[in-house]
Amino acid sequence: MVDRVKDKVALVTGATRGIGEGISRLLASEGAKVVLTGIDAGAGARLAAELVGQGAEAIFLAADVRDAVQCQASIDGAVTTFGRLDILVNNAGIFPSASLEETTPQLWDDVFAVNVRGAFFCCRAAIPVMQRQQSGVIINIGSTLPFRGASDRFAYATSKGALLTLTRGLAQVYARDHIRANWITVGWVASPGEIELRSAIHGNGQSFLAGAATNRPFGRHEDVADIAAGVLYLASDEASHVTGCELNISGGMWT
């Protein structure tokens, strides 16, 4: 299948690398008009230019999801540029390594500011647009950790649990506006951010992850393409009756 989201307008937060970049690339290749947002203006501009060079319609809008004004401006920018907003992917997130005892109030607030408040700000800005259209899709990028806990990422796990609750609320409250809201349970992805985190802890993140992959149920970590494929399905008309869904892409890590 091709052009599964043709002419749909998609905004992806945290789009400049890793999972967000992979999602943006796949949506663009399937015909979406993509609005990339993030805090790395150089990377965002380069990715947008690359996608345009490949024949896609794409723009980059610098936005820090911790700021409600910037979130509103990014949604407004998408509508001003492309006339509508069909897909919102709340992907931006941070995942510092810290146990409960090591989690300072500032770290806790920082994690929730990006992982929960950022998604809330973007949803609050996007919902009125989608209500006027009587259509829209919100996809929140989650984690296995709300279900199983994590001693070394306590704040992150808790924040993703809050995001799951937000997703369920959106799905129930806005169904009559034909707005769908779904969540992806993301397993262990060997993303650039994960490699950096593991390098800080273990010295060589790539070697650590390669060794850890041998103990995974499918013998490998999830990759960016796995998550992007799930987003594409949920964003497409194939999922037109799917809302409040927890799509598990964890390779048996959490079932």
CB atoms within 10 A of CB 39: 15
Lowest mean pLDDT among 41-55, 159-173, 204-218: 204-218
Could you give the C-alpha distances from 56 to 81, 104, 184, in angstroms and in order? 14, 43, 25
For residue 39, pLDDT over 90 is answered with yes
Q: Where are the alpha helices (DSSP H) in the chain?
A: 18-29, 41-53, 68-82, 105-112, 118-133, 145-148, 154-173, 192-202, 205-213, 224-235
The tens digit of pLDDT for each residue in 235-246 reads: 999 999 999 999
Total number of residues shown for the chain: 255
Q: What pLDDT is attached to residue 85?
A: 98
If one compares 38 and 194, the residue with the highest pLDDT of the two is 38
Q: What's the mean per-residue pLDDT of the chain?
A: 92
Q: What pLDDT is attached to residue 159?
A: 97
Q: Cα separation of 45 and 28, whole Å?
A: 15
Q: Which residues are 108's β-sheet partners?
A: none
Looking at domain 9-187+222-249, its CATH superfamily turns out to be: NAD(P)-binding Rossmann-like Domain (3.40.50.720)
For residue 252, pLDDT over 70 is answered with yes
Could you give the C-alpha distances from 25 to 64, 78, 153, 175, in angstroms and in order? 21, 17, 29, 28
Residues acting as catalytic residues: 156
Q: What pLDDT is attached to residue 247?
A: 96
CB atoms within 10 A of CB 217: 11
| pLDDT tier at 151, thresholds 50, 70, 90 | confident
CB contact burial 68-81 (16+ within 10 A = b; e otherwise): eebbbbbbebbbee
Q: Cα separation of 112 and 166, whole Å?
A: 13
Q: Cα separation of 206 and 46, whole Å?
A: 25
| Mean pLDDT, rounded, for 109-131 | 98
- Enumerate the CATH 3.40.50.720 domain ranges in the chain, comma separated: 9-187+222-249
The tens digit of pLDDT for each residue in 49-97 reads: 999 999 999 999 999 999 999 999 999 999 999 999 999 999 999 989 8
| Mean pLDDT, rounded, for 5-10 | 98
**Rounded to the nearest 5 degrees, what angle is found at the Cα of 209, between the Cα atoms of 207 and 215?**
120
